[in-house]
Amino acid sequence: MKAIPSETHQPAGFPPIPVLKKLLLIRNFESKLLSLFHSGVLNGTTHTCIGQEVVSVAAISLLKEGDQVFSNHRGHGHYLARYDDPEGLMAEIMGKEGAICDGVGGSQHLRRDGFLSTGVQGESLPVSVGVALDMKLHKPGAVCMPFIGDGTWGQGAVYEALNLASLWQVPICVIVENNRIAQTTRIKEHMAGDISGRCRAFGVAHEFISTNDVETARILLAPLIEKVRDGGGPLVVEFLTDRLSSHSKGDDTRPEEELSELHDRDWHSLYRALDPDLFEQLDSESREMIEEMTNSLLTRRPSEWDPLPPTKRQSACLDLSPDRPGELVVENLNRALHLVMEDESVFFLGEDIADPYGGAFKAGRGLSTRFPGRVLSTPISELGFTGVANGLALSGRVPIVEFMFGDFALLAYDQIVNFAAKSPSMYGERRRHTVLFRIPVGGRRGYGPTHSQSVQKHFLGIPDLDLYETSPLHDNTKLIPLILSSGTPSILFESKSLYGWPVSTGDRVDDLYHFSSSENGFFARAFVSDQPDLTIVTTGSMFPDCLGAARKLFFEHEIDSQIIVLARIYPFDLDWLGHTTTSRAVFLVEEGSVECGWTSGLSRELRELERSGINVQTIGSVHSIIPSSKHLEAGVIPGADQIAARILSDLHS
């Protein structure tokens, strides 16, 4: 075997041997992957970066410990450039013991200190802004490096992220691998203008690099990254590169002559021509190593993973009843936010939350004055600032996000469902991802169809996304710390119509009803006696109307009704069933329509219990939009009279 020359005796133009070995490792690893898919050994999908390896190796070689890489669906090269771990990556894709993420993440979802990849285009860019913001505040000199492709510039998340990165001047260096084709669509068909112009629009520096030589790329890129590292603000570096393989396993629609031309100018062909014997020796050694590794992995036992999280906390063991007389719900909520913000790890993000405004419903009043560095009043950018919150959570911070209206939270659905809710389990081992999304919901304010929706159903039943709702019977100064202590992504729904409602204190709701907090803390009980004729189960938004209905039933029909007010909507909590032994029926009442709502889900749970004789009924709004006019709105959302009438009808049927 020919001796490998030292760097001082390498052919002119040849990269350093360790650098070339890294390039060959990525190329041969992915070539083997494709052969395993084609032979049926692997299933699912994979996206290779064959042809683009120079970008990964050049950029990531300039990073330091403490820097963070955010990769994408085409991330094998990024991972292998960051870590010399082909075995862990192949085990992950095969689902074998020793896998990076226990085989849960597969080809697209990888996590390790200093590295994270996701499979949704553009999703990680707002998240990387959040991580970069934390670096600016707590880790000076560190750099966040997300990778995106030219096709990703069709995603709105990119522009929200660039705007926030520029506003806050965070240390982020976005690497664009522009291979001029998104899956099968040419760049001229999916991009108006160019990337540099889009960066200029946000005041973000842009640099263009076009080379197939890894050392040239490193020389050009090194001072750019150092400028970001030294506080020069965000940077986008656009690499002109070529993808030689298909988008995934076999969907390439480009003509053979075009692919042949790309191969001719590929780094692999250029370096081989400089010293064919030496190149072939290094290439052969790389292929043999990967072949042996693969054969060994094929005989290894499958990885193991428990899809169920550790036992969900079923008991809060905390009295969540209010303790301050005369306080309005919004005042109680504001006091709770001031309390948790005393912890320096807590951040508060949202639109128009800075003083003197303090948010659309004033729940954040005074926070920016007391905690100016950790209250981030953002642009109208729901997807972007929710991603930033996820980045802060990844960095160990505790972000609280305020959406102005519940309807607008759907603009951030990807970041809530695909990133926040999946982060605790998507990368194999269970991880804390503490983030609280505060979502004002409901009607009765005359705001009309796009500002009045009860959006709870759209987040129901999602693993590792806990749902709560404020009520006059629960103290937010106790509830919010409890939520944050869970380490689980959570939503706190806040009824807009309740903000001005007084919280109950002592043990009285009114002249008729007593109330008590449950032992587990997740529900409160309003009652006249301990042997009620029926049970009404609801959440804070409908509590006033359910209370009115219960009083009507008591005084006009001598029916003793108890009201169970849930603080946690999901996961479902059935501990309150112990209080229903004398009830003829259980009525579940929600402000949204019952179709696919929490009442439908809870009624299914109840009917599946051994106590099959339980009479469960659901009551909700008309299955329609919420109109603006007060009289029309009243015809959609049930009030006290309608609830009472429906209960009487069902009892007598």
pLDDT averages per 10-residue partition of the chain, 653 residues: 61 89 98 93 90 97 97 96 97 95 94 95 96 97 97 95 98 96 88 95 97 96 98 97 86 88 94 94 97 97 83 60 86 97 98 95 97 96 97 98 96 97 93 97 91 95 96 94 95 96 87 86 92 96 96 97 96 90 94 96 86 83 92 94 96 85
Q: Encoding tokens for residue 123? A: 């999703």
The residue to which tokens 């780094």 are assigned: 267
- Cis peptide leading into 571, omega within 30 of 0? yes
**pLDDT at residue 317, rounded to an integer:** 59
Q: Encoding tokens for residue 69? A: 């890489």
- Other beta carbons less than 10 A from residue 641's beta carbon: 12
Handedness of CA 631, 637, 640, 644 (dihedral sign): positive
| Cβ atoms 464, 432 nearer than 8 A | no
As a 3-state breakdown, the chain gives helix, strand, coil percent values, each rounded to 5, of 40, 15, 45
**pLDDT at residue 6, rounded to an integer:** 58
**590: Cα separation from own chain's centroid:** 27
In CATH terms, are 51-73+109-272 and 514-652 the same topology?
Answer: yes
Q: How far apart are CA 48 and CA 59, in angstroms?
A: 18
Helices (H), 144-255: 156-168, 187-190, 195-201, 214-229
**pLDDT at residue 471, rounded to an integer:** 95
**pLDDT at residue 468, rounded to an integer:** 97
**pLDDT at residue 357, rounded to an integer:** 95
Q: Where are the domains of the chain?
A: 51-73+109-272, 329-498, 514-652
Strand ranges for 183-297 from DSSP E: 185-186, 205-209, 235-240
Fold of 51-73+109-272: Rossmann fold (3.40.50)
- The CATH number corresponding to 514-652 among 1.20.1250.20, 2.60.40.1080, 3.40.50.920, 3.30.950.10 equals 3.40.50.920
**pLDDT at residue 44, rounded to an integer:** 83
Q: How far apart are CA 90 and CA 107, in angstroms?
A: 9
Residue type, 530: D
Rg (CA), the chain: 29
* CATH, domain range 329-498: 3.40.50.970
Helices 214-229, 17-38: axis angle to 10 degrees equals 100
Q: How far apart are CA 44 and CA 56, in angstroms?
A: 24
The residue to which tokens 């469960």 are assigned: 616
**pLDDT at residue 310, rounded to an integer:** 61
pTM of the full predicted structure? 0.93
Q: How far apart are CA 125 and CA 245, in angstroms?
A: 25
Query: Which residues are registered as beta bridge partners of 378?
Result: 351
Residue type, 59: A
Q: How far apart are CA 458 and CA 226, in angstroms?
A: 44
Q: How far apart are CA 527 and CA 488, in angstroms?
A: 32
